Amino acid sequence: MKKNIYADNAATTKIDIEAFEAMKTYLLDDYSNASQAYSFSRNSKLAIKNARNIIARSINAKPEEIYFTSGGTESDNWAVKSVMLYEGQTKHMLTSSIEHHAILNSCVDIELLGHQVSYISVDDKGCIDFAEFENLIENDVKLVTIMLANNEIGTIQPIKALAKIAHANGALLHTDAVQAVGHISIDVQDLGVDMLSASAHKFNGPKGIGFLYVRQGTGLKPYMNGGSQEFGMRAGTENVASIVAMAIALKNNVANIETNGKHLFKLENALFDKLTDENIDFIVNGSTKKIPGNISLSFAGVEGEMLLHRLDLMGIYVSTGSACNSKDTEVSHVISAISVPSAYAKGTIRISFGHENTIDDAISIAEALVKIIKN
């Protein structure tokens, strides 16, 4: 029997087996509420502390700079809304036109509060327009939020340079690193960011858990109000099992980051080579400075939706853009922003390999695409 091929790892990943096994202990044995004072909670408390240390180390942060959240969406909402919510005077914030909707829709709320949001354009590779950024940052900006790597095309932004300019102009810099953490090396000190969002299910951890890194001294206010968990910064009973699993998944991904990266680029090349050999008319979207494994392809004269469904029938799972946009049949905001030529734009799919994918998977996907397109 032919095996199915999952190639939508930018939407979510399979859980790391060690992370999965570790969860059981904190669901079946040490299942206490970690905030209780009795001895039964000692192991849960210790597990959270260890997980925070592991996560902090993996991005070169201090443990007390890591706040556990329910995932990328909450981390993004927290960073954007908590900074802007407490600004009495009208302030300005900068973002890009290709952010995830967790950022873009948070910005809509910020505009409703009366603040101004500017959406910086990108070039045809998805790279921030630096001149536009430098021009806008002079204008009473409180917060800049630019993603580290794009979820549809994989392009990596020059966050270190953007953070320097933001700080020189008195603004904070947040980066949505949901697609980058666990996939490329990240050092928050070197990047110079004030806040960074991450989500475990994008790096082989469980769904519904993530973290927000907040540089000490940033002065961020809580977003979730309630109990005093997470140093009084994020209320809610701690999701111990998922926190533990997230740390294990991140540690394992970081330990293999170079090997995985090389493997994923090999898969990309195998797929491109096969399509080229078969004279398929396609464009590879995004920059060459990108996260490994995430490829956006646009084909001439076909619909991405049709490709997705035909591949599905062949047991191959890819997406047309981001998972959050999968109900839209129109061209995504990212594909529009990078001005993919109209003959190709509607024929866009995203293939995102994970480290479990093989060269055979890459070639099988290419062969399936050739078959569909040539028919």
Interacting residues with ligand PLP (CB under 6 A): 71-73, 76, 100, 102, 147, 151, 176, 178-179, 199, 210, 322-323
> How many Cα atoms within 13 Å fall on the side-chain side of residue 164?
6
Select 10 or 248, whichever has its Cβ closest to ligand PLP: 10
For residue 213, the minimal CB distance to ligand PLP (Å) is 14
Determine how many CB atoms are found less than 10 A away from the CB of residue 333: 19
Select 99 or 230, whichever has its Cβ closest to ligand PLP: 99
Q: Are 35 and 237 in contact (CB under 8 A)?
A: yes
Q: Say which of 136, 324, 370, 372 is annotated catalytic.
A: 324
Radius of gyration of the chain (CA): 21
The closest alpha carbon to 349, from 273, 279, 275, 294, belongs to 294
Structure tokens at 45: 């408390």
Select 80 or 316, whichever has its Cβ closest to ligand PLP: 80
For residue 370, the minimal CB distance to ligand PLP (Å) is 29
Select 212 or 257, whichever has its Cβ closest to ligand PLP: 212
For residue 108, the minimal CB distance to ligand PLP (Å) is 16
The closest alpha carbon to 143, from 176, 121, 187, 177, belongs to 176
Distance CA 248, CA 221 (A): 28
The closest alpha carbon to 355, from 253, 245, 247, belongs to 253
Q: Are 84 and 113 in contact (CB under 8 A)?
A: yes
For residue 210, the minimal CB distance to ligand PLP (Å) is 5
Active site annotation includes 324: yes
For residue 190, the minimal CB distance to ligand PLP (Å) is 21
Distance CA 16, CA 253 (A): 9
Select 79 or 366, whichever has its Cβ closest to ligand PLP: 79
Q: Are 344 and 300 in contact (CB under 8 A)?
A: yes
Structure tokens at 235: 């209320």
Catalytic residue numbers, as ranges: 324
